[in-house]
Amino acid sequence: MGGQLGFLYRQLTFRPKPRSQSTSLANKTALITGSNSGLGLEAALQHTSHSLPHLILAVRDPSKASPEFEVEVWPLDQEDYISIVAFGKRVIGLERCGYVLLNAGVTMLEFSASSKTGHERNVQINHTSTALLPLLLILTLTSEGHSWIPFHERPTPDILAHMDEPSTFGPLMQRYYTTKLLNVLWIRGLSSRGRKRGGGRCFVDTVVNHESSHRDYLSEQAVVKPSGFVLSLEGEEVQKRFWRETAELLRRVEEVDLPSFVD
């Protein structure tokens, strides 16, 4: 059963399988963004139950992170490119980092432009900053909702600039789900260029048990197909154009030095 009704049915009936107690994350470091509450915090708790020795919570406001276990809490403001670049340099300085889970995001139901970048905040936080982080780390998390939206913005010559216009915002959750489609398009583009590196239980299952699922979309602990649009010829064309738009936007950020493969 697909679509929104299928999603609601699975939300009510699907129970994530817990990791076997024999699963060990010893000698690993895990980094989770947006991890001071909600699914990010639950994923952190799941990691610590499997002998993980080093956990980094990346949060916008470290004072709001109060886990019941010993961790490092690093600041990361996804509306601030200086904060993102500083965070990336700090991660690169780690002796090792086994898993990175990019969970941070927002759901803004009314149009709001970021005071720091000028871009619409759903797009800035959920897509642009989430697209930049893997480039800095050379190592995402999206949503089934990417298959539900009409994506009216796709014919425009500059999708990101068009989405900064308040008149394009759309009703209810439409903009949020559009940013999740942008995540899918970006990651599919990234996976064809960069080197192949690799509730809360689903997140942990993704990073622990699906290391070979490069470029794949996972839902409910299984590899599934993304939306029909993503797999269509039109989707492939929009993906290539959108990759160029996002890369060009990031090149204009003075603090960012993009990898050479971002052509």
Annotated catalytic residues are 143, 176, 180
213 near 164, Cβ under 8 Å? no
Residue of 246, 252, 232 whose CA lies nearest to 187: 246
Distances (CA, A) of 165 to 80, 120, 155, 159, 162: 20, 8, 15, 10, 6
d(CA 69, CA 28): 16
3-state secondary structure of 252: coil
DSSP notation for 205-234: HHHHH-TT-TT-EEETTEEE---HHHHSHH
Contacts of 41 (CB under 8 A, 6+ apart): 35, 67, 200
Angle between helices 233-251 and 129-137 (to 10 degrees): 80
239 near 182, Cβ under 8 Å? no
d(CA 126, CA 107): 9
DSSP notation for 135-170: HHHT-----GGGGT---TTTTSS-HHHHHTSGGG--
